[in-house]
Structure 1
Amino acid sequence: MKNIFITGVTGFLGTSIKSKLCSLDYQVVTAGRITNSYCDVEFDLEKPFDLVKKLKNIDVIIHSAAIVHVMKNKKMADEKYQKANYEATIELAKQAVAAGVKRFIFISSIKVNGETTTGRLPFSSSDLPLPKDAYGLSKAKAEEGLLDLAEKTGLEVVIIRPPLVYGPGVKANFASLVKLATKSMPLPFGSINNKRSFVFIDNITDFIVTTVNHPAAINQIWLISDDEDLSTSQLLRLIIEYSESKAFLFNVPQRFFVYLCRLLGKQNIAERLCGDLQVDIKHTKEALDWTPPYTVQQAIKKTVLSFINKN
């Protein structure tokens, strides 16, 4: 029986990890910014902490807490990400070593690889890091620091780089796309034939639980996805189908759409909707004998039906 310490437990991913581990009868200690009925231990990435005593009987830490949202002030964003995602992560790992924790599972980000695979092969775990923003850089530095600590101390480090995670309760961009597709209106995305990797919340949670025990998981970087990439038009058609929406797609040349977004100063939207971002998980599947338990179709359907039932 392993005792597991989870950070970021009130977040979208952390909540799912806790639920899965508890269902498997693991002993779970949860950490969040405020101690309450859901969080056993106070842990704030932006404040000093000393958790050595709390970690004494812990076997595995799953570190999913992070500062994600981009701030407008670049200097402040750089400092905030550096302190929370890099410095606090390394400090937590050092305290884990001091407490005798055996394994440290770090939820990183595909942004360590870069922002797009348009015009190139899908990202792989062997690629050199090429982060383009402060968030991706902070995650890359944390990975480097953790692997260095593993080499010096024997701490077993597992690094997981997911693309966009979705599922029931998802917010931000994916939720906006679902909301758009469930309205009875024409949508000008029919000719967008890009390819993007996503990962369903239950798929990544299953993978994280796999790495808790797997002997081959340690001191490596793992890319994760649903193993079936979708274009924006394919994704929208699935949402429309499962929601039984009266929305429909019509064709507008992709280059025109990209040009319009750039004209309006929305290049980031054009990249998310039209650009490629693919990850290669062949190594992940073969090395850990793992496959996503849910298909893309099952995952999208579950996500859409949950959204409809809440609205």
Structure 2
Amino acid sequence: MSNKLIISGSSGFVGQNLVPYLETKNWNVIPLSRRQKSSISLDYNNLTVNDFSSSYAFIHLAGKAHDLKKTSNDKEYYEVNTELTKRLFDLFLESDAKVFIYFSSVKAVADEVEGVLTENHPYEPGTVYGKSKALAEQYLLNKELPSNKKLYILRPCMIHGPGNKGNLNLLYKVVYKGIPYPLGAFDNKRSFVSINTITQVIDKLLNRLPDSNVFNLADDYAISTNDLIRVIALAINRKPKVLSVNNSLVIFIAGLGTSLRLPFNKERLQKLTESYEVSNNKIKDVLKIDKHFDTRTGLTATIKSFKAI
């Protein structure tokens, strides 16, 4: 069996953590990028079936991320998230490679969740980002897969890990500067997934080769944004300050932010206050993982990393 893995998007946050992790497990990782950056890397334009044929697996991390500032052209999402994925999967099917892992998103199926999101939720994406991911998933799932090949579609929720700022960085700045968090009146529960959870799951999939399937990626329990503020405060030795400003007033201000294209807008408010619980039961059951994926411990490590940046 070849130990060669081709990984697209290796320069992104997930790739920067996954590549060295897999290399410690004796995998030979070949980065795939938009242009050849070194003698051992590959580029999308010149990729051939032969490149796949000499590989054991292809891990497709590359994608166009969700743009909260609304500056992206819709066409870009479909070109990168949908069409590129289709092209790479077709090459995989023609090759001798055994495993294709597609890094999708929970937003491919739902932007809002009632209860807990499982893999059985129907496709109801609400954004261009989600729709482009959903179309890629559907293409992969509708293609006939040879019996000697495996396809794993992974749907992570909000990812955290040392160095990954995102929306956590906004909350971090609020707590660090001693600014009261004004959204305490919003009661929610939100799932996160640690980058360590992601790397471990991918390694186990490559080695254990369960039946092809779609899997959510999440830590074991959800956490409210108010509790997240307290976790951040504890991690940086600050006193948490949570205020309960009238919901209607906050929603009105967020609406103005959307109209004026300010950082605090309706979509940002939704991300901070929505409930979005994701089940990880399926992946843990299939891979027989009894280890506890602890949200608070991972989030604390993430927040502490901000202080060094």
Please report the TM-score for the alignment, with normalisation by the length of structure 1: 0.89
Matched residue count: 301
2:149 matched to 1:155?
yes
Distance 1:24 1:293 in 2: 21
Contact 2:174–2:180, Cα closer than 8 Å, also in 1: no
**Of 59, 62, 71, which residue of structure 1 is paired with 2:59?**
62
Distance of 1:292 and 1:254 partners within structure 2: 39
Shift of 1:69: 4.2
Q: Which residue of 2 aligns with 1:8?
A: 9
State the 1:291 CA deviation. Answer: 4.9
Aligned to 1:104: 100
Amino acid paired to 1:257? V
Deviations 1:167-211 (A, max 9, x none): 111133222222222222222233332011111111111112121
Distance in 1 between residues matched to 2:39 and 2:155, nearest whole Å = 26
Alignment of 1:122-271 (within 5 A): 122-151=116-145, 155-216=149-210, 218-265=211-258, 266-271=265-270
Q: Is the 8 A contact 1:31 1:39 kept in 2?
A: no
Distance 1:183 1:150 in 2: 54
Query: Residue 52 of structure 1 aligns with which residue?
Result: 49
Q: Which moved more, 1:247-256 or 1:14-23?
A: 247-256
Distance between the aligned counterparts of 2:38 and 2:297, measured in 1? 32
Distance in 1, matches of 2:121 and 2:94, equals 32
- 1:36 maps to what in 2? 37
Write the deviation string for residues 249-296 of structure 1: whole angstroms up to 9, x where unpaired: 222244543343235432212211221111122222222212565411
Rate the CA distance shift 1:291–1:12 in 2: closer, same or farther, 3 A.
farther
Distance in structure 1 (CA, Å) of the matches to 2:243 and 2:87:
51
Q: What SS does the aligned partner of 1:174 have?
A: helix
The answer to whether the Cα contact below 8 Å between 1:183 and 1:246 also exists between their aligned partners in 2 is no
Q: Are the counterparts in 1 of residues 229 and 240 from structure 2 also a CA contact under 8 Å? A: no
Q: State how far apart, in whole Å, the 2-side matches of 1:98 and 1:151 are.
A: 11
Aligned counterparts of 1:176 and 1:37: Cα–Cα separation in 2: 36
What value does the CA root-mean-square deviation take over the aligned residues? 2.2
Deviation string 1:57-109 (CA, Å, 9 cap, x unpaired) is 101111000011437467x31x2111211111111111112221111000001
Q: Secondary structure at the match of 1:151?
A: coil
In structure 1, distance between residues paired with 2:47 and 2:90: 11
Matched, 1:85 2:81: yes
Asked whether 1:115 is paired with 2:111, we answer yes
CA distance in 2, matches of 1:20, 1:148: 32
SS for the counterpart of 1:104 is strand
Task: Name the CA distance, whole Å, in 1 between partners of 2:13 and 2:304.
Answer: 18
- CA spacing shift, 1:115–1:275, aligned 2, 3 Å: same
AA in 2 matched with 1:10:
S
Conserved 8 A contact 1:188-1:252: yes
| d(CA) in 2 for partners of 1:150, 1:15 | 32
Alpha carbons 2:197, 2:219 under 8 Å: kept: yes
For 2:49, what is the secondary structure of its paired residue?
A: coil
Q: Call closer, same or farther: CA 1:275–1:72 in 2, change over 3 Å.
A: closer
State the Cα deviation string for residues 106-134 of structure 1 (Å, max 9, x = none): 000111121111xx221110111111111
Partners of 2:139 and 2:64 in 1: CA distance: 18
- Equivalent position amino acid for 1:186 in 2: P
Q: Which runs of 5+ in 1 are unaligned?
A: none
Give the partner amino acid of 1:53.
N
